[in-house]
Structure 1
C-alpha cells in the first residue's frame, strides 16, 4: 500500500467557529483539530478529496499518519471522523499527536481468517458468530499493527475464542485483558446453523455422491 495514503497535507486555520467551518466545507475543505503530547491544540484544514481517498483504506484508521503542516511533518493518529448524515462528505476530523517514545492507545481491527477451511464450518454446518470486530491496544507507535488476525482453521464446533487466545505482535498489549481475568472477552464462536444437524451434512454428502454416480 502506498505511503502517500498515510500522508495528508494540512494548513493551520485561524478563522474559527461554526460559520468558518461551514465555509470551508463549501470550499471542499475539511476542518480538523490536532491535539495531545502536552502541546496546545491546533486548528487545521485538509483537502476533502485527499481525505475521501485515504479513508477508503481500513489501515487509515489504525495507522500512524503523517500530517504535513506547512512543511513541518507531525505524526498523529486519527481519533475521530465526523461525516455528513447522508452525503459522502467528511465534516470534521480529530487527530492525536504521536510521540515515538510514548505508548499510544487506539483500536485495531480484527481479521478473521480461514473460516472456509474450518471443518466445523465447511463440513459440520457451523457458522462463525463474531462478538467483537476490533480491540483496543497499547504499544509504541513503531509496534502498532494495522490489524490482528483471528485464525479459525482449528476452531471446533461450539468453541469460543477469547481475547487471551489471540496472537498479538511483540510489544502490543490488549487493554481489556490488562483489567483482569474477568475481562477476557469472547471474540468469536462457531455455532451450529439453525436447523442444521450432523445428519443433514452427511445426507447432503451422500446425495452428492449418488448424483455423481448417476
Structure 2
C-alpha cells in the first residue's frame, strides 16, 4: 500500500470553539496516539483528508514542524448531513509491526439462478503489516447452489495476512428464492375452482 503524504500542524487550542474555528478554515482537528506517546493534537487540511479517506485503511505520512510519523485512521467523525470530516483519530504505526484492521470482502461471479445471494459480512477483521495492508479480498461465488455458504476461514487471504475473525463466521450464503404469492386473478380462479368442486361434491 502506498503512503499518502499530508501536512500536519501541531495545535495548542482545544474545545468545541477551537474545533469550529479549524473547520471554518477548511481544516480538520485530529489526534495522533499509540506506542505509549502522549497524544499529539494536530490540524490537517480538510480536502486532502477527505480524498485520503476514500481508500480503506489508508496509510498516512504526517509531515510538518515537529511531526514526521506514519499513521492509520482509526476513528472518523463526519457531519451527518454534509458528509465532511469533522475529526480524525490516528493510530501511530511503525514499519514491520502488525495491526488489526477491517478489509472489504468483494464477491465475484453469479450464484445459481435458482439461488438468492446473501452477503452477511461486507468486511472482515485481519492482522497485517502496517505498511502492507491489503486493499481487500475477493471471493468467487460463481455457480454456488442453494444452501451453499462461505465462511471467514474459507477466504483466500493475501500473503502475510492473518484472519482475526472467527473462522466459522458465515460471510456469504445462498438462500432459496421466496415463493411468489399468487396474483389476485390467480387467487380468484383458485377460489372459483374450489367452489365448483364443493358444489359437485354436495350434488353427489
The answer to whether 1:142 aligns with 2:131 is: yes
Question: How many pairs are equivalent?
Answer: 180
Q: Deviations over 1:96-149 (max 9, x none)?
A: 01111321111111111123xx4x1xxx23221011111111122233101111
In 1, Cα distance between equivalents of 2:62 and 2:105: 26
Alignment of 1:47-196 (within 5 A): 47-55=45-53, 57=54, 60-70=55-65, 72-115=67-110, 118=111, 120=112, 124-177=113-166, 184-195=168-179
The runs of at least 4 consecutive aligned structure 1 residues that moved more than 4 Å come to none
Which residue matches 1:205? none
What is the alpha-carbon root mean square deviation over aligned residues? Answer: 2.1
Query: 1:159 Cα shift?
Result: 0.2
Contact 1:61 1:78 in 2 (8 A): no
What is the deviation of 1:52? 2.3
TM-score in terms of structure 1 length? 0.76
* 1:14 partner SS: coil
Whole-Å separation in 1 of the counterparts to 2:134 and 2:83 = 28
**Any conservation in 2 of the 1:143–1:170 contact (CA below 8 Å)?**
no
Distance 2:163 2:124 in 1: 7
Judged with a 3 Å threshold, the aligned counterparts in structure 2 of structure 1 residues 89 and 142 are, in CA distance, closer, same or farther, namely closer
Deviation at 1:154, TM superposition (A): 4.4
Please give the TM-score of this superposition, normalised by the length of structure 2: 0.80
| Secondary structure of the corresponding residue to residue 142 of structure 1 | coil
Q: Take 2:139 and 2:66, find their aligned partners in 1: how far apart are those partners?
A: 40
